[in-house]
Amino acid sequence: MIPFYLVTGFLGSGKTTLVKRMLEEYGDQKQVGIIQNEFAPANLDGIDLQQTGRKFKILEINKGSVFCVCLLSNFIESLHEFIVQEKPDILILEASGLSDPVSIGELLDAPALRHTLFLAHIWCVVDALRFLQMEPKMTRITHQVRIADTVIINKTDQHEDIATLEDRIRQLNPYAQIMGACWCDVAFQQVIENPTTEPVARKTSREIAAIQAGGRPEISSVVIRTAQALTPEGLYRFLAEYVPRTYRIKGYVRLSDGSVKALQTSFDRVQTTDLSDYSGNTELIAMGDDLGTREMRNIFKR
């Protein structure tokens, strides 16, 4: 049976960074299958994973969470076909930051998968800066922690009161190992090479079965694609206007001076990186409350 690893965590916590580290470690040793689940109707993280230079096979599932009843049956069918075609040694699912994964047991116990996969480990990546702020507002964040085997408190270099975070996580999940990290730089080799036979989600399956998963979150997702280059000043205006209104913006921006920026924002944190090997046009995904697609796209026409 193929070991199945789940990576959860709210928007911008560092899930893709953790998956990249796994790829860098095992991409040349194992046939790695990666399922990337994006709430928005597009997925850009696959491009980010390619920057590792490692080999992997990818299945992209967009437009919602794979744990939602609206996608679950189609996802099970797609995953079964992916396994038959690609024959991976290990499978890693990077869940949408807006997913509620308490139905993980229902997924893996489906007839098409139950004799093919076993749940090996669940990581939940927690943003040290935002977890205590967002967890009371979104039940799905609480659920992500409750089913985890390892909770990674990421960005510990930017937050002083880690003890309070650890206390809250232990209240939610007394079984999980808690690890502090910067850029998700944690030891995961033991888990990959010796997967557990009784992860927390199985150990507490009776309690988890009584939890009602959250429905589709009331969060807007906007995809911006354009061949029009943006001036550096225009990029600054875009960030000044929309960073305060979004949870997350990520993607690639082509500028009028010929450069290309990889853009990542998480709440008020902004990171831009110069790219030399990106040949596509501007493509961005933004997630927040009450975002207007036309309004956001119009800023590229100014």
Q: Mean pLDDT across the stretch 169-190? A: 95
pLDDT surpasses 90 at 169:
yes
In this structure, are strands 57-61 and 32-37 parallel, antiparallel, or unpaired? parallel
For residue 105, name the pLDDT band (cuts at 50, 70, 90). Answer: confident
In this structure, what token pair is assigned to residue 43? 């997925």
Nearest to 151 by CA among 137, 138, 171, 136: 171
How far is the C-alpha of 33 from the C-alpha of 21, rounded, in Å? Answer: 14
Q: Mean pLDDT across the stretch 163-171? A: 97
pTM: 0.92
CB 176 within 8 A of CB 148: yes
Q: What is the mean pLDDT of the chain?
A: 91
Tell me the domains of the chain and their CATH numbers.
Answer: 2-209 (3.40.50.300), 220-301 (3.30.1220.10)
DSSP designation for 250:
E
CB 234 within 8 A of CB 300: yes
For the stretch 181-205, pLDDT in tens is 999 999 999 899 887 668 999 888 8
Radius of gyration of the chain (CA): 19
